[in-house]
Amino acid sequence: SGQEFLWEIMARKFCVGGNWKMNGCKKSIKEICEHLKGASLDPNTEVVIGCPAVYLEYTRGLLPPSIHVAAENCYKVAKGAFTGEISPAMIKDCGCNWVILGHSERRNVFKECDELVAEKVEHAQENGLTVIACIGELLQEREAGKTEEVVCRQTQAIASKVKDWDKIVLAYEPVWAIGTGKTATPEQA
């Protein structure tokens, strides 16, 4: 029933993630990982680090299994002539089981549409990855009063492809608040 579905979503562990984007080098990654290993982390909180694909295996090797390492993207098919893309199998081969999909930069810089993001989510889950699926509206969408429309559209596209709700985290990113000097209140987030 709907109530059971809601309870399952609410019962998920709290998740905290950091995404390095296209930043870092082995020296800085090692320093960050040493800091994380020495930190007192709540065992009831999932900690996930998103790092560039070239550093997935290196980062995974520096951290305990209790800290997850996520790829920042993967493609919607297993293999083929898709220069620069990586597959869920490649991510898993590096010892990682998480991936970030639908990030605002992938949507806006690389023009990834809701349908493509949903297909990536589906393929990643079919291949055993836990997905951090990003949603959020741009400043112009917010100012036009389209927040709910945009976030619902993005969420519906993703939800239509989700096979295992235990293996997905929806991450709302108030894109309109990044670099604008405007901040999101807890109610807005």
Q: CATH topology for 2-177?
A: TIM Barrel (3.20.20)
Average pLDDT over the chain, rounded to an integer: 92
Give me the pLDDT at residue 178, please: 74
Give me the pLDDT at residue 168, please: 96
User: Which residue is catalytic, options 68, 103, 112, 123?
Assistant: 103
Give the start-to-end residue ranges of the domains of the chain.
2-177
Structure tokens at 141: 């969408």
Select the more confidently predicted residue: 122 or 3. 122
Model confidence at 157, pLDDT cuts 50, 70, 90, reads very high
CA angle 164, 13, 60 (to 5 degrees): 80
Measured distance CA(133)–CA(155) in Å, rounded = 9
Measured distance CA(71)–CA(161) in Å, rounded = 20
Whether the Cβ atoms of residue 154 and residue 117 lie closer than 8 Å to each other: yes
Alpha helices in the chain (DSSP H): 2-10, 26-38, 56-62, 88-93, 104-108, 114-126, 139-143, 147-159
User: Which residue is catalytic, options 46, 72, 112, 173?
Assistant: 173
**How many other CB atoms are there within 10 angstroms of residue 170's CB atom?**
19
Point out which residues pair with 185 in neighbouring strands: none
pLDDT per residue over 1-48, tens digit each? 444 544 455 567 899 999 999 999 999 999 999 999 999 999 999 999
pLDDT per residue over 67-94, tens digit each? 999 999 999 999 999 999 999 999 999 9
Query: Which SS3 state, helix, strand or coil, does residue 166 take?
Result: helix
Whether residue 68 lies in the annotated active site: no
Whether residue 173 lies in the annotated active site: yes
Distances from the Cα of 117 to the Cαs of 13, 32, 73, 148, in angstroms? 24, 30, 10, 19
